[in-house]
Structure 1
Amino acid sequence: MAGAVGLSNGGGLRLAISLFVIFVLVCFMGIQDLRAHRDRESKNAELDAMFRDLQDARRSHDELQKKASDLNDEKLQLAAVKSNTSTMLIQSERKQQLLGEEKTRLEAALGDKDIQIATLKEQLKELDESEKEVVKLRNHLKALEDQLELFKANTTTGSRQESREEPREEAQKQQGEDLDHGLVAADKAEVGVTEGDADLEATKSEEVDDRKREQLDGEGDKVDEDLDAAKTIQDA
């Protein structure tokens, strides 16, 4: 009986040991499972964090791409503005150059106009003096015509005394012919003066022609010669 009890005590010990070992193994496996569960949760948390980081990185990448696209557009716009500015600067320089050339041309033209105005003023002054001379010659010619009329009247009166002044008849006849020639010359001079007046009026409305002025001077000299000849005849 004691042997049976001993045997049962020995079997119970082994059973207890087996149960303890099984308990230890179960606890160890539970601990391992708990550790694995914790590791999985930690890894899941890390993976979630990495996923969120990846999403944040993707959003950041998308934003950066959008900013890069906007910067690209702004760069293109700036390039277009720069090109337009360069074109406008070139056009402005060209306009400035054209304005400078136009200013130079206008200054040259203004200088020429000033010279022409000064020349015309001198010519008008000469024409005024010529007009005064023509008026003077007209007055002189009028006085000469009056003297010729008076001389004709005296000649007519003298013809009534032919019987008493026969020796002077030829001289008076020759003098009358000379006076007639002088009168014709004076008439021609008056015509020349009238034509000269017309030329003077035409010359005032246009630029002065040197040939006309020379012609007027020649006609004035001719009138002076005719007047001197008529005066010489009258004095004789």
Structure 2
Amino acid sequence: MEDGESENVFGNLNPQLFINEVINCVNDVVDEGFEVFEQEALEVLGNVNEDEVNQLRKGVSCISSIIHEALDKRLDMWETYSLQHCFSVPEGFSLPKTDTSGDTSMDHDALTDAELDNQLDSLREKLSEEGRKSVELQRELHAERKQSMCAELVNESLKQLEQTPVQDMQDMFQEMMKMAAELQVKMESRKNKGLVEMENSRTNRIYCPNNDQTLVHHMNGFSDMDLGSLQEFENF
């Protein structure tokens, strides 16, 4: 197919000119890269004489030639492949004629930017709503898991109770009742003892105001006083 026909098929794009432009751009990039490489090498070397500069440029040029040689082969292969496969148009192929009668209706039905923005906002709101629902579902699932774990613990405890013999349970209950009764007796005894000690201390402060209060122990009453002190209290 002629170049003019190819341009019509590919939207006024000439395949050969396009490929040439790409190859030229690649070569320019490689050349610029080696120029930068040479400048950086000179800055790294610092003060060098003219012979060393020429040797450096010669080495860079040699490397550049090797790179360009390999690159040219690759680009030639790419050009051949592109022309034979990417830009190949079958003989007799022609584009269908465009129907311009519907252009007006298509323009009329096309969505405006404002309508698109409204649709995007609506989609964002829907996504946010779905996100909130997802969070609520996660909370409900977490609560159900906790409830299920509690139910399993209760069931396990009930199973253990069912497996425990009745006599053992009665013995445990009797032991608990016994311990509760003993605890109540001890608490009453301690309470009464505290009341007696408080009454003794108050009586001592009333009837012995001039005595040394350090002789009266708050826990033992007059049991810590010696015989002489007791006689003085009696004479008083």
TM, length-normalised to structure 2:
0.24
Pair member with larger Rg? 1
The structure that is helix-richer by fraction is 1
Which of structures 1 and 2 has the larger relative contact order (alpha carbons within 8 angstroms, sep 6+)?
1
- The TM-score normalised by the length of structure 1 is 0.24
